[in-house]
Each structure stands twice: as structure tokens, then as C-alpha cells.
Amino acid sequence: MRRLNILAATVAVSCSFLTGCQVRSPGSFETRLMQGTKRRITVGGRSDANPLASTNENIRAGQRNFASYCMVCHGLDGQTTGVPFADRMAPPVPPLNSASVQAYTDGQLHWIIENGVSPSGMPASKGIFREEETWQLVLYIRNLPPKGSLGEPQVYGGTGCSGANCAH
């Protein structure tokens, strides 16, 4: 857990202060082309099924890990609430409840979490989460709370929950 927090803080600092996260935005045609290619070719794991049941317990476990690490860019609610640089990344950090993200299969979401999205600011998490924890993150992405309902992350001065204290 401590290791995760340090990692999250490092990511936050490098994205808020360096220019690496603020390159030119691609045009909408470019973006659509990339989205299509990503969904069909680049992103693996299409037919891998989630071995875990969508129970409250699994969703909450996913939420807790999300709140320790992913929230630095995605916000506690997966919809970038309180993340100051989310729309300045290129491509911007998408709301994870959007139709385009939800169109991925569970296996593809699992693949994205492990391998990241290249080239973009979305990092690979392979080795950070156990297999089961990665599938729990997928369940959390499928069951996100309403936008803003969890407050803003404490790393950005908000009063939202942090890490293990986060529950639905």
C-alpha cells in the first residue's frame, strides 16, 4: 500500500509539472481512427472472461485499489473529478463510464490495465496488481458511482476518501 502511494505521488508530480503530458491534441479524425484500430487490433484479451463474480465485495476491493493508484489521473469516481490536468493530457483522460471505454470487453479492460495504452499517459500496471486485483479493477470500472459522489482526491487537496478507507 505504501509503495502504491509513493508511486501515485510520483505520477501526480510528473504529470502536473512536466510538459510531457501536454503535447498537441490529435484531430477528431485521427482520434477516431486510433480508437477503431485500438479496439480491433492493438488491445488484446478480447475473449478473456472475468473469472470473478460481480459482488459488492469484489467491486469494493477494486474501488480501494483504484483509489490508491488510478485516481491520480482518473479521480476516485473514474470520471476525473478533481484531477487538475486530466483534460490537458493528450489524449485526455477519458471518463471510464463513457460508451467508448465500456465498449471494451472485460478481457480488453484487463489487458489495458496490465499493458497501458501506448503512446499515451496511461501506464502499464503489470506487476503492481495481482491477477485477482486486476479483475476487481475491471469490475469497479463496470460499476462506477455517479460523477462527483466520492469527492476529490486528497493528493490534490480534496476531501475524498483515500486508499483502504474507500468503500461504496
Distance CA 49, CA 164 (A): 27
Rounded alpha-carbon distances, angstroms, from residue 55 to 8, 102, 136, 139:
27, 19, 10, 9
CA dihedral 33, 37, 43, 46 (to 10 degrees): 120
76 lines the binding site for ligand HEC (CB under 6 A): no
Among 4, 16, 25, 38, binds ligand HEC (CB under 6 A): 38
Among 59, 67, 76, 96, binds ligand HEC (CB under 6 A): 96
158 lines the binding site for ligand HEC (CB under 6 A): no
Residue written as grid cell 505521488: 9
Q: Which has the closest alpha carbon to 137: 40, 63, 39, 55?
A: 63
83 lines the binding site for ligand HEC (CB under 6 A): no
Stretch that binds ligand HEC, among 46-54, 117-125, 142-150, 158-166 (CB under 6 A): 117-125
**Which residues of this chain interact with ligand HEC, rule CB under 6 A?**
11, 15, 38, 69-70, 72-74, 89, 91, 93-94, 96, 100-101, 109, 112-113, 117, 120-123, 125, 137, 141
